[in-house]
Amino acid sequence: MNYNKKSIEDIDVSGKRVLCRCDFNVPTKNGVITSDKRIVAAMPTIEYLVNHNARVILCSHMGKPKNGPAPEFSLAVVAKRISELLGKEVVMAADVAGADAKAKAAALKDGDVMLLENTRFEKGETKNDPELSKALASMADIFVNDAFGSAHRAHASTAGVADYLPAVCGYLVQKEVSIMGKALANPERPFVAILGGAKVADKLNVINNLLEKVDTLIIGGGMAYTFAAAKGYSVGKSLLDETKIDYCKDMMAKAEAKGVKLLLPIDVVIASSFPSPIDGPVETATVAIDAIPDDMEGLDIGPKTAELFADAVRSAKTVVWNGPMGVFENPTLAKGTIAMAQALADSDATTIVGGGDSAAACEQLGFADKITHISTGGGASLEFLEGKELPGIACLQDK
C-alpha cells in the first residue's frame, strides 16, 4: 500500500464544496457527550477548510443504529459541540443524502459548515451501496477522509464516495499514515513490537507480518499463555487457545529462522479466579511461567518479565505497542501494563501505541504526551500492522 497520500494542503479547496468524513463516534449519556476527544481531534482539519473558504459538509457515523434513524444516535449533539469549538453555527441536516441535506449543501457559502445526519441511518452505508455513494458525492466537489478509526471499513462514506470525487486525507489520517507507514515500511532500527491482549486469534496475521519486519517481538497479555503451552508448560486456568498451539510453535520457529528475538513472559502474576467485579480486590502470587498451579490463572506479567521487556524497549529506535500486558482495569493486575507504558514514555525512540486498551492505559496514566503517536483507531491500526490494505486510505489520491 502506498502511504504517501495527497492531503487537504495539496488541493485547492477555496469556494469548493468539501465532503469531509470524520470520526464523531463519541460516547453519550442521556443525550450528553461524555468525551469530546474525537471531535477535538477533528478540529484542525475542519478549521483549515473553513479558513481556506471551503464550503464544508461534515459526515460521520455514531453508534450502531439497527433500524434506520433513531433519536439517541442523532448527530445533533455533535453539531452543537462543533459550533462551540468553532465559534460559528454548524447547520444540521435532517437526513444523510436526502432532500434536506441536498438543499442545505446547495445553500452553503464560503467558510460555512454543515453536518449530515448519522451515515448509518442509511442502510446502504455499511454495504458500500453505490447509489448512496453517488448521492453523497453529488453534494460535493472534493472528498476528504479524516476518519482513521473507520478507514479499515469499505463503507459508502469512507471509501465509496471516492469513486465519484477527487479524494485526499485530512490531518488526522495524514498523521496516522505517515507515522505508522514509515514505522512499517522503513523503521529506524532496532525495531521492537509489543503485542498484548487476550486472544492469539485476533493477532495471528499481525504476528506473522511483524516477524518479517521487526528485530524483537514481545508477547504479553492473555495470548502469551498459548505460547507458553506451545513450549510445553502447564498454564493452569489461564486463557488458552488449544487450536493455536501449533501456530505458536510455527511462529517461534519462524522467529528463530529469521533471527528475530521473540520475548515471552518468564514470570507471571496469578490468582485463583478472574476478578469480579473487574476492579475488585484480588489475592495474587507471582510464579515462574513454568510453575502455574492447575487451579490458578495468569492475569499479568511478573516484575522480572516487565524488566526484561522494558530492557528491550530501552535499546530500541522504533517501538510499536498494541494490547495490554494483563487485566489492567484492575489496579492489582495493572503493573505490567504500567511498566510498558512507562518504558515507552522514558524512551527516546519513535513510539507508536495502537488504539484500544493500550492507548487508554497511556492516557489514564498521563503518559500520552510522552508517546510519539497514539493511534485513533483500534481495529484500523491492527489491520495496518497486519499489512492489510485499508479501503479508506487506498481510495485516496497518491502524491
Please indicate whether residue 306 or residue 37 has the higher confidence score (pLDDT): 306
Catalytic: 38? Answer: yes
pTM of the model as a whole: 0.85
Give the residue among 123, 88, 93 at the shortest CA–CA distance from 106.
93
Residue 202 has pLDDT above 90, yes or no: no
379 given a catalytic annotation: yes
Distance CA 328, CA 324 (A): 7
Inform me whether the pLDDT recorded for 183 exceeds 80. yes
> What pLDDT score was predicted for residue 355?
64
| Residue of 102, 199, 254, 370 marked active site | 199
Catalytic residue, chosen from 356, 377, 378, 392, is 356
pLDDT score, position 196: 94
Q: Which of 17, 38, 153, 335 is catalytic?
A: 38
**Whole-angstrom Cα distance, residue 250 to residue 225?**
15
For residue 201, pLDDT beyond 70? yes
Query: What is the average pLDDT value for the chain, to the nearest integer?
Result: 94
Determine the Cα–Cα distance for residues 246 and 234; give it in Å rounded to an integer.
15
Mean pLDDT confidence for 246-261: 97
CA–CA distance, 68 with 98 (Å, rounded to integer): 14
Q: What pLDDT score does 138 carry?
A: 98
pLDDT (tens digit, 9 = 90+) per residue, 38-91?
999 999 999 999 999 999 999 999 999 998 999 999 999 999 999 999 999 999
What are the backbone angles phi and psi of residue 203, rounded to the nearest 5°? -120, 10
* pLDDT (tens digit per residue) in 129-162: 999 999 999 999 999 999 998 999 999 999 999 9
81 classed as catalytic: no
Whether residue 356 lies in the annotated active site: yes
Q: Which of 98, 379, 387, 388 is the catalytic position? A: 379
